[in-house]
Amino acid sequence: MATAAPPVQKTTIPFWRDTRILAVLFQVLFVIIVVGVLWFFYTTMMAGLRQANLLPSFAFLSQPASFSIGESVIAYDPSNTYGYALLIGVLNTIRVAIAGVILATIIGIILGISRLSENWLLRNVATVYVEIVRNVPLLLQLFMWLALTQTFPRQQDSISIFGLIYLHNRGVTMAWPVTGSDFGAWVPWLWLGLLAGIAFYVVRRIQFARRDRPGVAMPQAFLLAGAVVAIGYVFVGLSNGEWPLSLSIPELQRFNFVGGIGLTPGFAALLAGLVIYTSVFIGEIVRSGIQAVNKGQREAARALGLTPGQTLRLVIFPQALRIMIPPMTSQYLNLTKNSSLAVAVGYPDLFSIAGTTLNQTGQTVPVIMMVMAAYLTVSLVTSLFMNWYNKRIQLVER
């Protein structure tokens, strides 16, 4: 009996009590349920669409859109296709996202440092500002910015800044350089400037490396490149009697300003809203990043005789950056995705144009899927870039 007992014990563990089998079984079951639910949704949707004679198709993409778009990065005409109109939307979204990310980062860093300032007033103003902005919904802020643009004077009574920038209730119009007919003659000089700058930089780096001493070559390289380009500008201008670039000064015609470039109220409101809202979160990330750097680092830097500014710039910030990048990526993604609120302030971003498209064509499912794919692509690209950057600045252990 004693010898027979162990094998009996072994065989009496039924498979539904065996955790190794159960673990696999539950996972299989879970996948089956998820796939089943998705399949159920899909078939229900297709049945409904078939009944309404609305089967999804992408044929509409090559039809003329025949609606106009208020502002676009590249030329657009109502006779262009829906596909092209959606592309305009993507570009408009990217335009506001890039501008937003850059501005939000700059303002966010200033905010984060201000929150840690030893100046009582600055520190508390920054705190109050952060607490107010991050606790008010973004949509509400966008409406506030849009309402603010409407309080500016009409174009006839624009606020003029030196006659170069005009503020009015249709946005901002400002003088902007335009290319003249001799711009082509200047292009070689631009390339020459770039090459000179790079060549100078490389030579200096090699020199530094040989002497085994640190040094800065970038500012001088820029100066050199700028000087070459400027000489070229004067040369082309004097030899042809016309400057390759000239300033286009806006002039008020019957209805709108002509010349220069303009920011529409929609773009201005959206950009302001996104930048202010996101910069507050970035500010908090910067603050936490700086605070996470060991106190000893600051004390050591001060003991070496570095000024507070140098301590921050050369010792604290490079270390804080490593902690800040991952949460910063989330904020950049949030900003990009939040730009879909543009529809509320009349800026023709991707979501706004997609809305019009699905409304005019009735192809709700394909359009929504395309919009999702577009946002996903933009977000993944941002994410990939930030991950690459994160890896690059990580501590390299020797």
Number of residues that bind other proteins (CB under 8 A): 57
In the complex with other proteins, the residue whose CB is nearer, 50 or 313, is: 50
Output the smallest distance, CB 78 to other proteins, in A.
4
Angle subtended at Cα 251 by Cα 171 and Cα 174, rounded to the nearest 5 degrees: 45
At 41, the amino acid letter reads: F
CA dihedral 44, 49, 51, 54 (to 10 degrees): -170
42 is a site residue for other proteins (CB under 8 A) = no
70 is a site residue for other proteins (CB under 8 A) = yes
In the complex with other proteins, the residue whose CB is nearer, 27 or 207, is: 27
Q: Which of 40, 58, 235, 385 binds other proteins (CB under 8 A)?
A: 40
300 is a site residue for other proteins (CB under 8 A) = no
Which two structure tokens, joined as six digits, stand for 81? 């296709």
37 is a site residue for other proteins (CB under 8 A) = yes
265 is a site residue for other proteins (CB under 8 A) = yes
Say how far apart CA 104 and CA 99 lie, in whole Å. Answer: 8
Contacts with other proteins, 76-95, as mask; x by CB under 8 A: --xx----------------
Nearest Cα to Cα of residue 198 among 230, 220, 231: 220
Measured from the Cβ of residue 12, the count of other Cβ atoms closer than 10 Å reads 8
Reduced to 3 states (helix: H, G, I; strand: E, B; else coil), residue 117 is: coil
66 is a site residue for other proteins (CB under 8 A) = yes
Stretch that binds other proteins, among 2-10, 90-98, 212-220, 340-348 (CB under 8 A): 340-348
Q: Which of 48, 56, 163, 226 binds other proteins (CB under 8 A)?
A: 48
Stretch that binds other proteins, among 51-59, 97-105, 106-114, 185-193 (CB under 8 A): 51-59
Enumerate residues 6+ apart whose C-beta is below 8 A from 109. Answer: 282, 283, 286
Q: Which of 127, 160, 253, 377 binds other proteins (CB under 8 A)?
A: 253
Q: Which of 142, 356, 375, 378 binds other proteins (CB under 8 A)?
A: 356
Reduced to 3 states (helix: H, G, I; strand: E, B; else coil), residue 244 is: coil
149 is a site residue for other proteins (CB under 8 A) = yes
Site residues for other proteins, window 6-25 (CB under 8 A)? 19, 22-23
Enumerate residues 6+ apart whose C-beta is below 8 A from 327. Answer: 285
360 is a site residue for other proteins (CB under 8 A) = yes
46 is a site residue for other proteins (CB under 8 A) = no
Measured from the Cβ of residue 253, the count of other Cβ atoms closer than 10 Å reads 10
Q: DSSP assignment of 61-96, as one string?
A: GGSB-----S--SS---TTSBHHHHHHHHHHHHHHH
Between the alpha carbon of residue 80 and those of residues 22, 65, 67, 191, 358, the distances in Å are 58, 6, 9, 35, 16
At 263, the amino acid letter reads: L
254 is a site residue for other proteins (CB under 8 A) = yes
Q: Which of 97, 170, 275, 316 binds other proteins (CB under 8 A)?
A: 170
Q: Which of 28, 33, 35, 102 binds other proteins (CB under 8 A)?
A: 33
362 is a site residue for other proteins (CB under 8 A) = yes
In the complex with other proteins, the residue whose CB is nearer, 97 or 358, is: 358
Helices (H) and strands (E) in the chain, counts: 13, 8
43 is a site residue for other proteins (CB under 8 A) = no
Task: Give the gyration radius of the chain's Cα atoms.
Answer: 30
256 is a site residue for other proteins (CB under 8 A) = yes
Output the smallest distance, CB 27 to other proteins, in A.
8
Between the alpha carbon of residue 136 and those of residues 110, 131, 288, 314, the distances in Å are 21, 9, 22, 35
Q: Which of 179, 359, 387, 394 binds other proteins (CB under 8 A)?
A: 359
Residue 17 DSSP class = G
Measured from the Cβ of residue 277, the count of other Cβ atoms closer than 10 Å reads 22
Q: Which residues bind other proteins (CB under 8 A)?
A: 19, 22-23, 26, 29-30, 33-34, 37, 40-41, 44, 47-48, 51-54, 60, 66-71, 78-79, 146, 149-151, 154-155, 169-170, 253-256, 258, 264-266, 343-344, 346, 348, 352, 355-356, 358-364
